[in-house]
Amino acid sequence: MDDERLAKIEQEKQNAINNSTNTYNQLINENQDLYNKQLEYANKYEQTQNDILNQQLAENQRLIEQQKEEARKNKAAEERKALNDYEAYNNPYGYQAEARASSGLLNSGISETAKLGSFNTYQNRLATANKVMQDAITQYDNDMNKARLENNAAMAQNALNRLQLELEYATNYYSGRKDLTLGQMNYNQGLNDTYFNRYQTEYGNIQKEREAEEAIRQYNEKMAYQRERDKVADQQWAKEYALAQQKANASSINGSGSNGEFELNENNGGETVITPTNTTNTSTNTTTISKVMSLNPAALSTEKARTFFKGLKTSYNQNTLVQLLYNAYQNATINDNDIKTILKVYNLK
Please report the pLDDT score of residue 306 as a whole number.
92
Tens-digit pLDDT profile for residues 240-269: 766 766 665 555 443 333 333 444 344 455
Q: How far is the C-alpha of 118 from the C-alpha of 95, rounded, in Å? A: 15
Classify 222 as helix, strand or coil: helix
Going through the chain in order, the beta strands assigned E by DSSP cover 262-266, 272-276, 288-290, 315-317
Going through 176-267 in order, the beta strands assigned E by DSSP cover 262-266
Residue 279 identity (one-letter amino acid): T
Burial of 305 (0-12, 13-18, 19+ CB in 10 A): buried
- The answer to whether the CB of 169 falls within 8 A of the CB of 39 is yes
Average pLDDT over residues 211-228: 89
CA dihedral 287, 288, 289, 291 (to 10 degrees): 180
- The answer to whether the CB of 195 falls within 8 A of the CB of 12 is yes
- Give the lowest-confidence range in 68-72, 118-122, 167-171, 189-193: 118-122
Is the pLDDT at 79 greater than 60? The verdict is yes
Residue 48 identity (one-letter amino acid): T
Is the pLDDT at 96 greater than 60? The verdict is no
pTM for the whole thing?
Answer: 0.45
Q: How far is the C-alpha of 36 from the C-alpha of 256, rounded, in Å? A: 125
Residues 6 or more apart whose CB falls under 8 angstroms from that of 132 comprise 71, 74, 75, 78
Please report the pLDDT score of residue 280 as a whole number.
41
Please report the pLDDT score of residue 284 as a whole number.
44
- Give the lowest-confidence range in 75-89, 172-186, 227-241: 227-241
Chain-centroid distance of CA 222 in Å reads: 50
- Give the lowest-confidence range in 106-110, 211-215, 328-332: 106-110
- The answer to whether the CB of 52 falls within 8 A of the CB of 157 is no
Please report the pLDDT score of residue 271 as a whole number.
44
* pLDDT, averaged across the chain: 80
Please report the pLDDT score of residue 113 as a whole number.
67
- The answer to whether the CB of 245 falls within 8 A of the CB of 274 is no
Is the pLDDT at 29 greater than 90? The verdict is yes
Tens-digit pLDDT profile for residues 296-315: 888 899 999 999 999 999 89
Q: How far is the C-alpha of 323 from the C-alpha of 260, rounded, in Å? A: 13
Average pLDDT over residues 128-157: 88
Compute how many other C-beta atoms are within 10 angstroms of the C-beta atom of residue 242: 21
Average pLDDT over residues 75-82: 88
Average pLDDT over residues 270-298: 61
- The answer to whether the CB of 164 falls within 8 A of the CB of 34 is no
Burial of 322 (0-12, 13-18, 19+ CB in 10 A): buried
Angle between helices 109-252 and 336-345 (to 10 degrees): 40
- Per-residue pLDDT band at 92 (split at 50, 70, 90): low
